[in-house]
């Protein structure tokens, strides 16, 4: 896997995705469908989506990627659909499209899978995206439309860099009876696609054979000290991001936007800074190596000698974490070769 990929300058495919919004049902032959009795809303609803990245060195200090590439987010790929479709699902195997997207940020296969579901069983209504976000904090926005038969929202956004980690939402229903929800904010936590066994943000490619299922990453799982999300003092990880869904007044089907501006592509548009008060401070304890073997016992004949051993720092503390202990120790001994 190429680790030096910068999502802000990916291929024309991702550039094209940066503001693409399309409705799939218009491209297929209509079929008789039964309205889901759970949602009886008689109008369509248009929503704005705002993804907020909360991946900072304060909230996730362990192995925080500073360069090649620094912490950032891929484009967000979203789908509106019926209850019988999933772009990804916890405790199930990721599709080839989700594998390619979560490992490399490549969206072609994932898009083809979504389009095929729309054409085959008419489960998918709309496919949309939001532009990549350069930096671990900031915001990206998009719009989408839902109606009674297709009232569910799912999306995925890749953590960059990472082996196969992502944030996302699976099948969130925006309808309640005959009403559309006005505004919803959801906290987002990291998931492992189960296709790469790397432990750290910048791990080299290490394919998982056989493939695992999609699992949520927690402060204690995977339970390996080398893992970038391993914080044994925490009961739960802080959210890595959040998404806000707001129903808009204009419910008309919207057209494909114009070419995105540089501000939209980079996520650096005015008002896009995230307040420090919204980002959790995660304490990171110092980690040190095991003690070295004791050195030779040195001293004069007839007197007690002194020997030393040392250890070194694996990980410096941060955010009021436990400070590093002494790195050198000595004790008395009987000289091996007295003078």
Q: What is the pLDDT of residues 242-267, one digit of tens each?
A: 999 999 986 544 433 333 333 233 33
Min mean pLDDT across 101-115, 201-215, 274-288, 309-323 is at 274-288
pLDDT of residue 299: 80
Mean pLDDT confidence for 66-89: 94
Please state the rounded mean pLDDT for residues 292-319: 81
Q: Is the pLDDT of residue 157 over 60?
A: yes
DSSP string covering 29-97, please?
-----PPPTTB--SS-EEEEEEEEEE--TTTS-TT---SSSPSEEEEEEEEEE-TT--SS-TTSPPPHH
Residue labelled with tokens 């943000």? 201
Confidence check: pLDDT of 13 > 50: no
The answer to whether residue 1 scores a pLDDT higher than 80 is no
Strand partners, 241: 53, 188
Provide the pLDDT confidence category of residue 290 given band limits of 50, 70 and 90.
confident
Model pLDDT, residue 280 = 64
List, for residues 208-223, the tens digit of each pLDDT value.
Answer: 999 999 999 999 999 8
Q: Check residues 311 and 190 and name the one with the higher pLDDT.
A: 190
Q: 34 vs 82, which has greater pLDDT?
A: 82
CB-CB contact of 218 with 191 (8 Å): no
With cut-offs at 50, 70 and 90, classify the pLDDT of residue 295: confident
More confident of the two residues 277 and 301:
301
Average pLDDT, integer, range 152-176: 97
Query: Reduced to 3 states, what is the DSSP secondary structure of residue 264?
Result: helix
Q: What is the dihedral of CA 208, 211, 214, 217, to 10 degrees?
A: -20
- pLDDT value, residue 339: 61
Phi (first) and psi of residue 118, to 5 degrees: -65, -40
Across all residues in the chain, what is the average pLDDT?
81
Note the pTM of the prediction, 2 decimals: 0.71
Closest CA to 132 of 63, 77, 70: 77
């Amino acid at each position: 896997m190429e680790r030096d990929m910068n999502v802000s300058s990916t291929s024309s495919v991702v550039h094209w995705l940066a503001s693409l919004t399309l409705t799939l049902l218009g491209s297929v032959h209509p079929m008789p469908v039964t309205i889901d009795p759970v949602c009886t809303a008689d109008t369509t609803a248009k929503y704005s989506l705002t993804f907020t990245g909360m991946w900072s060195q304060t909230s996730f200090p362990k192995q925080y990627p500073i360069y090649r590439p620094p912490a950032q987010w891929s484009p967000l790929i979203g789908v509106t659909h019926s209850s019988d479709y999933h772009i990804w699902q916890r405790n199930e195997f990721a599709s080839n499209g989700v594998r390619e997207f979560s490992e490399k940020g490549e969206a072609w296969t994932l898009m083809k899978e979504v389009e095929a579901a729309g054409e085959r069983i008419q489960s998918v209504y709309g496919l949309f995206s939001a532009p990549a976000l350069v930096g671990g904090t900031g915001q990206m926005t998009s719009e989408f439309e839902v109606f009674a038969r297709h009232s569910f929202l799912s999306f995925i956004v890749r953590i960059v860099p990472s082996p196969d980690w992502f944030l996302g939402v699976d099948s969130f229903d925006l309808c309640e009876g005959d009403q559309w929800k006005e505004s919803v904010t959801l906290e987002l936590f990291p998931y492992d696609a189960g296709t790469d066994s790397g432990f750290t943000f910048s791990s080299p490619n290490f394919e998982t054979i056989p493939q695992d299922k999609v699992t949520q990453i927690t402060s204690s799982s995977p339970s390996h000290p080398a893992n970038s999300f391993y914080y044994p003092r925490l009961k739960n990880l802080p959210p890595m991001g959040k998404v806000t869904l707001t129903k808009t007044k204009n419910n008309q089907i919207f057209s494909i936007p114009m070419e995105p501006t540089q501000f939209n592509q980079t996520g650096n548009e005015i008002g896009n800074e995230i307040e420090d008060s919204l980002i959790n401070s995660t304490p990171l304890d110092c980690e040190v190596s095991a003690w070295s073997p004791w050195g030779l016992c040195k001293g004069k004949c007839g007197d007690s000698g002194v020997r030393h051993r040392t250890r070194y720092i694996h990980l410096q503390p941060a955010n009021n974490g436990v400070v590093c202990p002494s790195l050198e120790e000595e004790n008395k001994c009987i000289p091996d070769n007295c003078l």
